[in-house]
Structure 1
Amino acid sequence: MPMFDTLAYGGEKTPVVFDIGTAYTKCGFSSECSPRKIVPSTVKKAKTGELVNIYDISDREELYRLLIDFVHLLYFRHVLVPKERRVVIVESVFTPTMFRETLAGVLFKHYEVPSVVFVPAHLMALFTLGIPSGLVMDCGYKQTIVLPVYEGIPVLKACQALPFASKAVHNYLDAQLREHGIVRDSQGEEKPLSSVKDIVDENILEDIKVRCCFVTKLDRAQQIHAVSAGIKDAELPAPPPDVQYPLDGANTLTIPGKIREHTFEILFERDSEEQSVSTLLLDAIIQCPIDIRKTLAENIILIGGTCMSVGFQHRILTELYSLLNSPRYKNRLALKSFKFHHPPSKRNCVAWLGGAIFGIQEILSTRSISRDQYTKNHCMLPDWCSLYDYEESDNHSAILLKKEASKEVLPSVSKSPRSPVVAKKV
């Protein structure tokens, strides 16, 4: 058991790694190759008993109380260790500042952990593969984020994002099933799904998406988009067969093949600004310096649960080659090939595994924020989107440089003739 590892080795306790995502949270230890548990990022309210997502809470005080219960669940039911361990938090670059500050307050004040470090998920994906540069696409639950990383440094100005991911797929699937889905009861009677209330929830939609739906090929998708755009003489391709999905012991849902094939197309449809999940990769490459574009195009990493869908990577690859010949990118990019990495774990656990690898490095102690530092900084965390942290750091560095410049090198005490005094220059 991990709670006895310090008795066996006599060293520092293994850090705990939390990847708190919008839909699911991965928790485990830095010495392991996979998370101990993957649980929904929901917590039950004490008064009403309602399950709420921790990212949907906008009130700071309420979020503080709910995070106490949520972290207690992670510590004492899933990882089963005392609190006196370093903590590694794998987060998105777009994590709200209020959420990370509240989470830090819960860990430092309530649970009194020795130190906490917040690491970006896109950078941790490169730790898993052991490469310094790459173009990381994180397609999760609420949004898709593409962030280039070159020599271990995220290129933040080239970051691209769209509010289309698994949640948009669920909403489209729910609407289509309620319009075209047919439910058959145990007596063989058929009725539309819209007539049955509260029978398809979020968990069932996700299960249907994973088991029954897939990302279709580009040529069939072009025919589907042509029909939806109202192009004359455009015809839909022959749909795949229907499937029977058991809802409970008495009802069976018939899912048409058309819905199975069209569900994921919402991610690849162009919006009013001609953007889709595929264009995010090329737009991110264009925003980077020209001498690193080839390196990024040959080191593409897909992470997130949505990227695990059947046919997702193949569709992204064919879309990229097709977009290179479009007027929007033909004269702006001179790329000839794209290459994808195959991570050693499931794509939804790649960022967590990178955080686990980072947690066993010796540099963890220098990059973490200790409880004493947190108290001295008046419970403030350094944030990449806050200019105040950088200005304060620059002022502190300037003061140190002035002090060093004002110092003089004193002559050493020896029998040799005194050497001239030389002022140290910066």
Structure 2
Amino acid sequence: MDKSLVILEIGGAYTKCGYSGESTPRFIIPTDLSPIDLSQYLSSGTPYFDNSITDNSNTDNNNNNNENVKKNRLPTSLELKDALFNFLNRLFYKYLLCKPNEKKIVIVENILMPRLFRQSLASVLFERFKVISILYLSPTVSLLPLLRTTALIIDIGLRESRILPVYEGVGLMKSYKTITNGQFNILLNLKKMLLDDLITKNRSVVLDNMNNEALPVNEAKAAIESLSNNQLEDIAVKTLVVSPLNRQLSAVGTHYQLSQQRSIVISPEVRLHAADILFSNPMLNNQPTTTTTTGDNNNNNNNKDDYNSYCDNDDIVDLLLDTLAECDIDIRKSLTHSILLVGGTSMLPGFKSRLSQEIEKRLGSSLSETNTQQQQQNNRYKQLNGLSNHFEFIKHAFQPNYLMWLGASLVGTLDSFSSHSRITNEQFTKFGINKLPEYEKMTHLLPPTIATSLFSSVSK
């Protein structure tokens, strides 16, 4: 029997799967849990919009729009188990080509993965696929391929961005922070900017490839609004660039072919600024307020002195600085020298450079003149001003989108591994879901003896 372990990293958009000891995942496939869309639920545990259910109970009689209102809800345990069974069945028998009842599973998961999803996933793997055991690992394993024990891990996902400081192999949960800003916000902003180019700026956005002429506004608008998330993601990956903060970057427009008959013109402005929403703080006047969420526009002008007033308006830069501010003062410098970016969104060209520039700006080191709101923002991080020139990113040869999977692959090569985050089939049969490890027991990188043996073997 093959002793290799199955390594799974189930994300809101994609799932990485493969075997232990391998340097890259065998497959990176969409996390398709049809008929329910759990991309938002997997990221933050929040309700998702169910396209099959509509709710007309709260419709306004004075509203002329008679379209049904999509109802948001949480999935049930039965729905999750059925969707997970279909998904894992394809994964084991179509992609990995293995018998799951002969395999041990290693799962890399978000620390705050919804409890119901974790329970449903364990139930499906143990009860239906009869796997031998499951080992749960946290994002801290991304440090193992780098032979590091200290880092500030910035994970930019589909719907959510997370920052976890790790010091000497211990994840500092008191400083762990998340924000609902990720790749999905870029996709929404991309569609919004394309519509602005068409309607507000009267630019030719959608072309007919047969005669190379622009489509009428109504047809072009319908074509843009009908773009799927997969198409928007493909446009973002192939055309978008994160522009520098303090200098102009020249770029040319490009065409993205939708079909043999139609193509979309991506203007230089769209290419350079669609991703700016990751760094956009509505509390600052000079930042673009291309917020794509609803219900917050009326609150953007409310100036509150309370610290909690920033929670709904923060971006990735504020999240990073808030995390550092809540860490002990004697470890901040070590963390700033070891910033680790993971997640596919961080692979956008220019992202790392822009993040460094935004950090310097928020700390006030690159601002010669500031208005009142900007000055308040700088005072918020006054205690971090001494770190302004100490922010460094960890350089490595791996791809950020599968770095956590790679760390789990290394753990799977060990003869013995952590027992506090592992559960066997016998234990699950006897104790059920109550035996599942809690997230506060998973923030350690590895037990000291195992970490030492792994680092020594890799260094040889």
TM-score by length of 1: 0.79
Comparing 254-263 with 296-305, which one deviates more in the overlay? 254-263
Partner Cα separation in structure 1 for residue 76 and residue 437 of structure 2: 21
Q: State how far apart, in whole Å, the 2-side matches of 1:371 and 1:195 are.
A: 52
Aligned to 2:125: 107
C-alpha separation in 2, matches of 1:315 and 1:52: 31
Contact 2:324 2:332 in 1 (8 A): yes
> Contact conserved, 1:179 with 1:194, CA < 8 A, in 2?
no
**Whole-angstrom distance in 2 between the partners of 1:331 and 1:150:** 20
Q: Does 1:120 align with 2:135?
A: no
**Could you say what secondary structure the match of 1:291 adopts?**
coil
Q: Which residue does 1:152 correspond to in 2? A: 169
Equivalent residue, structure 2, for 1:187: 211
Post-superposition shift, 1:369? 0.6
Shift of 1:199: 4.9
Matched, 1:371 2:425: yes
Deviation at 1:365, TM superposition (A): 6.4
RMSD between aligned alpha carbons?
Answer: 2.3
TM-superposed CA distance for 1:334, in Å, is: 2.5
Q: Structure 1, unaligned stretches of length 5 or more?
A: 7-12, 221-236, 390-426
1:281-317 deviation line (CA, Å, top 9, x unaligned): 2211111111111111111100001000010001111
- Deviation, 1:138, is 0.1
| 1:79–1:167 Cα change, 3 Å | same
Which is higher, the Rg of structure 1 or of structure 2? 1
Shift of 1:239: 6.8
1:27-426 alignment, distance < 5 Å: 27-45=17-35, 55=42, 58-83=75-100, 84-121=102-139, 123-181=140-198, 182-185=205-208, 186-191=210-215, 192=217, 193-196=220-223, 199-220=226-247, 240-272=251-283, 273=310, 275-325=314-364, 326-335=378-387, 336-364=389-417, 366=419, 367-384=421-438
Unaligned runs of 5+ in 2: 43-47, 49-73, 199-204, 284-309, 365-377, 443-460
**1:77-111 CA distances to partner (integer Å, 9 max, x unpaired)?**
11111111110001011211110110000011111
Letter in 2 for 1:107: L
Whether the 8 Å CA contact 2:423–2:436 is kept in 1: the answer is: no
Counterpart amino acid of residue 16 in structure 1: V
Q: 1:276 Cα deviation (Å)?
A: 1.5
Q: How far apart are the structure 2 equivalents of 1:66 and 1:142? A: 20
Name the % identity.
31
Question: C-alpha displacement at 1:332, in angstroms?
Answer: 4.0
Alpha carbons 2:153, 2:342 under 8 Å: kept: yes
- In structure 1, give the amino acid aligned to 2:416: I
Deviates more, 1:279-288 or 1:346-355: 279-288
CA displacement, residues 196-215 of structure 1 (integer Å, 9 cap, x when unaligned): 37752111111111111111
Relative to structure 1, the CA distance from residue 197 to residue 135 in structure 2 (aligned partners, 3 Å threshold; closer, same or farther) is: closer
Contact map agreement 1:303 1:348 (CA 8 A) in 2: yes
1:197/1:327 Cα in 2 relative to 1: closer, same or farther (>3 Å)?
closer
* Deviation, structure 1 residue 184: 1.2
Do the aligned partners of 1:145 and 1:162 also contact (CA within 8 Å) in 2?
Answer: yes
Select between 344-353 and 330-339 the one with higher mean Cα deviation: 330-339
Q: Give SS of 1:357's match.
A: helix
Residues 219-256 of structure 1 deviation map (CA, whole Å, 9 limit, x = unaligned): 15xxxxxxxxxxxxxxxx68732211111111121111
- Structure 1 runs of 4+ with >6 Å offset: none
Distance 1:362 1:132 in 2: 21
**Following the alignment from structure 2 to structure 1, what is the Cα–Cα distance between the partners of residues 170 and 249?**
47
TM-score w.r.t. structure 2 length? Answer: 0.73
Quick check: 1:161–1:280 contact (8 Å CA) kept in 2?
A: yes
What is the aligned residue count? 357
Q: How has the CA–CA distance of structure 1 residues 172 and 27 changed in structure 2, closer, same or farther, with 3 Å as cutoff?
A: same
Deviation at residue 376 of structure 1 after TM alignment: 2.2
Is the CA contact 2:112–2:439 (under 8 Å) kept in the aligned structure 1?
no
Deviation at 1:382, TM superposition (A): 3.7
Q: Aligned letter for 1:30?
A: S
Deviations 1:332-359 (A, max 9, x none): 4522411111233211000110111111
Partner of 1:22: 12
Q: Are the counterparts in 1 of residues 242 and 351 from structure 2 also a CA contact under 8 Å?
A: yes
